[in-house]
Amino acid sequence: MTTKSNTGRRTFLAALGVGGAAAAAVAVTQGSRETAPAATDATPQGKGYQVTEHVQKYYRTAKV
Protein backbone atom coordinates (compact mmCIF):
# COMPACT_ATOMS: atom_id res chain seq x y z
CA MET A 1 0.00 0.00 0.00
CA THR A 2 1.25 3.39 -0.86
CA THR A 3 0.45 6.66 0.87
CA LYS A 4 -0.78 8.23 -2.36
CA SER A 5 -3.30 5.41 -2.84
CA ASN A 6 -4.68 5.81 0.69
CA THR A 7 -4.91 9.57 0.30
CA GLY A 8 -6.92 9.16 -2.88
CA ARG A 9 -9.36 6.80 -1.17
CA ARG A 10 -9.77 9.14 1.78
CA THR A 11 -10.41 12.09 -0.51
CA PHE A 12 -12.97 10.08 -2.46
CA LEU A 13 -14.79 8.94 0.69
CA ALA A 14 -14.77 12.47 2.13
CA ALA A 15 -16.22 13.85 -1.11
CA LEU A 16 -18.84 11.12 -1.09
CA GLY A 17 -19.86 12.05 2.46
CA VAL A 18 -20.04 15.76 1.67
CA GLY A 19 -22.09 15.03 -1.44
CA GLY A 20 -24.53 12.90 0.55
CA ALA A 21 -24.94 15.60 3.17
CA ALA A 22 -25.56 18.21 0.48
CA ALA A 23 -28.17 16.00 -1.19
CA ALA A 24 -29.92 15.49 2.14
CA ALA A 25 -29.96 19.23 2.79
CA VAL A 26 -31.47 19.89 -0.63
CA ALA A 27 -34.11 17.22 -0.08
CA VAL A 28 -35.09 18.70 3.29
CA THR A 29 -35.36 22.25 2.00
CA GLN A 30 -37.29 21.18 -1.10
CA GLY A 31 -39.70 19.15 1.02
CA SER A 32 -40.44 22.08 3.32
CA ARG A 33 -41.15 24.35 0.36
CA GLU A 34 -43.69 21.92 -1.05
CA THR A 35 -45.60 21.52 2.20
CA ALA A 36 -45.64 25.17 3.28
CA PRO A 37 -48.12 26.47 0.68
CA ALA A 38 -50.44 23.51 1.26
CA ALA A 39 -50.54 24.29 4.99
CA THR A 40 -51.49 27.93 4.40
CA ASP A 41 -54.27 26.96 1.98
CA ALA A 42 -55.86 24.51 4.39
CA THR A 43 -58.84 25.56 6.49
CA PRO A 44 -58.04 25.99 10.17
CA GLN A 45 -58.79 23.02 12.39
CA GLY A 46 -60.41 25.22 14.99
CA LYS A 47 -61.17 23.84 18.42
CA GLY A 48 -57.78 22.42 19.36
CA TYR A 49 -57.72 19.55 21.86
CA GLN A 50 -60.84 17.42 21.79
CA VAL A 51 -61.68 14.48 23.99
CA THR A 52 -62.85 11.81 21.62
CA GLU A 53 -63.79 8.21 22.25
CA HIS A 54 -60.32 6.88 21.48
CA VAL A 55 -58.77 9.45 23.85
CA GLN A 56 -61.17 8.40 26.61
CA LYS A 57 -60.28 4.75 25.97
CA TYR A 58 -56.61 5.59 26.35
CA TYR A 59 -57.23 7.35 29.65
CA ARG A 60 -59.24 4.37 30.92
CA THR A 61 -56.48 1.92 30.04
CA ALA A 62 -53.67 4.13 31.35
CA LYS A 63 -55.04 4.48 34.89
CA VAL A 64 -52.65 3.27 37.53
Residue 57 maps to a domain: no
Residue 59 maps to a domain: no
| Total number of domains constituting the chain | 1
User: What's residue 64's pLDDT?
Assistant: 75
User: What's residue 49's pLDDT?
Assistant: 87
Could you write out the DSSP letters of every residue in 1-58?
--HHHHHHHHHHHHHHHHHHHHHHHHHHHHHHHHHHHHHHHSPP--S-----HHHHHH
Please provide the average confidence, as pLDDT, over all residues in the chain. 74
User: What's residue 58's pLDDT?
Assistant: 92
User: What's residue 40's pLDDT?
Assistant: 53
Letter string b/e over residues 35-58, b meaning 16 or more CB atoms within 10 A of that residue's CB: eeeeeeeeeeeeeeeeeeeeeeee
CA distances from 5 to 10, 17, 19 (A): 9, 19, 21
**Residue 17 sits in which domain range?**
1-40
What global pTM score does this model have?
0.34
Residue 64 maps to a domain: no
Query: What percent of the chain lies above the pLDDT cut of 90?
Result: 17
